Amino acid sequence: MAVPILDLARSFGEIKPEVFATLEKIFDAQSFILGAYVKDFETHCEKYLELPEGSAIACASGTDALLLALMACDIKPGDEVITTPFTFFATSGTIARLGAKPVYVDVDPVSYNINLDQALNKITSKTKVFLPVHLFGQMCELEKVLQEFHGKGLKVVEDAAQAFGSCRILDEGKRIDRAGTVGDIGCYSFFPTKNLGGCGDGGMVVTKDLTLAERLKKLRVHGSGTTYYHEEVGINSRLDSIQAAILDIKLKHLAEWTEQRRKAADYYRLLFTAQGLQEFITLPTETEGNVHIYHQYVIRVKDKRDELMRFLNDNGFAVRVYYPLSLHLQPCFKYLGYKEGDFPVSEMLTREVLALPIFPGLEATEQEALVENVGKFFKQ
Ligand SMILES: *Cc1c(COP(=O)(O)O)cnc(C)c1O
């Protein structure tokens, strides 16, 4: 048996005729950048995320979404941005590119998300933005700290690149906080492997502050409100019609695909529990109130993580490590002066985490075979 970490072909099959019919229209029209397809996709995202009209701004990637968000928060050299060291590089890369300083806070060993209490303690006179990540598709409990950050005059930018559609159900179901819509600006990625992924690069920023939204719209086209007149220096970061049209088709299936991911996560739990492997591995959990979308299903392996990974890979199961090196220990961030031991939980996770295949169309038999092999490895 060969089980890939992600097989996009399985869900693409469902939408292929619709995608190809739409592509034909786009090629006939020969209109490729921004335009009606992008506008429609933005509108549909606003509806999906229950945001006001005009609050979604599509751009060229998740990285650009973060960059645009930080530019709209006026991040300048010397500013500090409080963030997590246990995430994909782009979260910190964009801070550094603007000359600002990533200030790290360790993560929680259960949710893998940034420790919110510790984040509050890191605020200094130079702090401008708090940039948490909703890692692997599970939201941080932002409602607990939002007012404190705002009270200190800081902006909250959410890296929701892995969490489109993830939410927290609060006040006995009376309120739903959706990832990316709680802070001042939310950032999404539509990189092909994300839970809402295109057939190329893509991203989006959202904000309920429509004045800020207007500024973000200008920033994505070189700071220009009227073509060839520039109020400030922006970047070139536009989504194209082809990506927008494909993403718009995929968005219609997202709720159903998310449900499949959640069912697969439940089934992993059932299978691992039946194998009695609790002493060797820790399963991911859902924080109270959360609807985890399982962008990744990441277990922790106390000992022999790398040996288990090799064993599974050799037997046809593609499992991966996200992420093998905490950002505070990356060579490019040496100048920040962090050292090993500064963020023990993040460092522990880099040694213990293992991502298992999870995607729409993953078969129960594939999950069964994988878990059986994990059992074989520990009990042999
Ligand atoms: C993927 C990702 C990004 C960057 O998105 P791109 O579209 O690849 O530029 C940023 N942050 C996190 C947490 C991500 O997973």
pLDDT of 4-43, one tens digit each?
Answer: 999 999 999 999 999 999 999 999 999 999 899 999 999 9
Q: Which residue's alpha carbon is at the smallest distance from atom 2 of ligand 1?
A: 161
- Secondary structure class of 33 (helix, strand, coil): strand
What is the DSSP track for 194-208? SSS--SS--EEEE-S
Of all residues in the chain, the percent with pLDDT exceeding 70 is 100
- 88-96 average pLDDT score: 98
Q: Which atom of ligand 1 is found nearest the CA of 63?
A: 9
- Taking Cα atoms as reference points, which of 358, 199, 172, 159 lies closest to residue 268? 358
What secondary structure letter does DSSP report for 232?
S
> CA-CA distance, 154 to 163, in Å (whole number)?
23
In degrees, to the nearest 5, what angle opens at C-alpha 229 toward C-alphas 226 and 230? Answer: 105
Q: Ligand 1 centroid vs 62 CA: distance in angstroms?
A: 5
Question: Do residues 166 and 178 touch, judged by C-beta distance below 8 A?
Answer: yes
- 144-148 average pLDDT score: 97
State residue 213's pLDDT score: 98
Return the H-helix or E-strand segment holding 152: none
- Taking Cα atoms as reference points, which of 324, 296, 326 lies closest to residue 309? 324
Kindly state the tokens that stand for 137: 């598709």
Q: Ligand 1 centroid vs 87 CA: distance in angstroms?
A: 9
Does pLDDT of 160 surpass 90?
yes
Q: Which residue has the tokens 């968000």?
A: 69
Q: Is 90 in the pocket of ligand 1 (CB under 6 A)?
A: yes
- Secondary structure class of 182 (helix, strand, coil): coil
- Taking Cα atoms as reference points, which of 332, 319, 293 lies closest to residue 373? 319
Q: Which atom of ligand 1 is found nearest the CA of 91?
A: 11
Angle between helices 90-97 and 62-72 (to 10 degrees): 40
What secondary structure letter does DSSP report for 357?
P
Is cis: bond before 323, omega within 30 of 0?
Answer: yes
Q: Is 132 in the pocket of ligand 1 (CB under 6 A)?
A: no
Q: Ligand 1 centroid vs 372 CA: distance in angstroms?
A: 32
| Burial class for 38, CB neighbours closer than 10 Å (0-12, 13-18, 19+) | buried
- pLDDT per residue over 298-350, tens digit each? 999 999 999 999 999 999 999 999 999 999 999 999 999 999 999 999 999 99
State residue 380's pLDDT score: 78
State residue 379's pLDDT score: 87
- 73-77 average pLDDT score: 98
Q: pTM (2 decimals)?
A: 0.98
Q: Which residue's alpha carbon is at the smallest distance from atom 7 of ligand 1?
A: 62
What secondary structure letter does DSSP report for 279?
T
Of all residues in the chain, the percent with pLDDT exceeding 90 is 98
pLDDT-based confidence at residue 101 (cuts at 50, 70, 90): very high
Q: Ligand 1 centroid vs 277 CA: distance in angstroms?
A: 32
> CA-CA distance, 250 to 195, in Å (whole number)?
10
Q: Is 157 in the pocket of ligand 1 (CB under 6 A)?
A: no
State residue 88's pLDDT score: 98
Q: Which residue's alpha carbon is at the smallest distance from atom 10 of ligand 1?
A: 90
Q: Which atom of ligand 1 is found nearest the CA of 90?
A: 10
State residue 303's pLDDT score: 94
Question: Do residues 204 and 58 touch, judged by C-beta distance below 8 A?
Answer: yes
Question: Do residues 144 and 119 touch, judged by C-beta distance below 8 A?
Answer: no
Q: Is 188 in the pocket of ligand 1 (CB under 6 A)?
A: no
State residue 366's pLDDT score: 98
Q: Ligand 1 centroid vs 68 CA: distance in angstroms?
A: 13
State residue 19's pLDDT score: 97
Does pLDDT of 96 surpass 90?
yes
- pLDDT per residue over 164-189, tens digit each? 999 999 999 999 999 999 999 999 99
State residue 1's pLDDT score: 86
Question: Do residues 156 and 142 touch, judged by C-beta distance below 8 A?
Answer: yes
> CA-CA distance, 7 to 317, in Å (whole number)?
12
Q: Is 159 in the pocket of ligand 1 (CB under 6 A)?
A: yes
> CA-CA distance, 115 to 146, in Å (whole number)?
13
pLDDT-based confidence at residue 87 (cuts at 50, 70, 90): very high
State residue 106's pLDDT score: 98
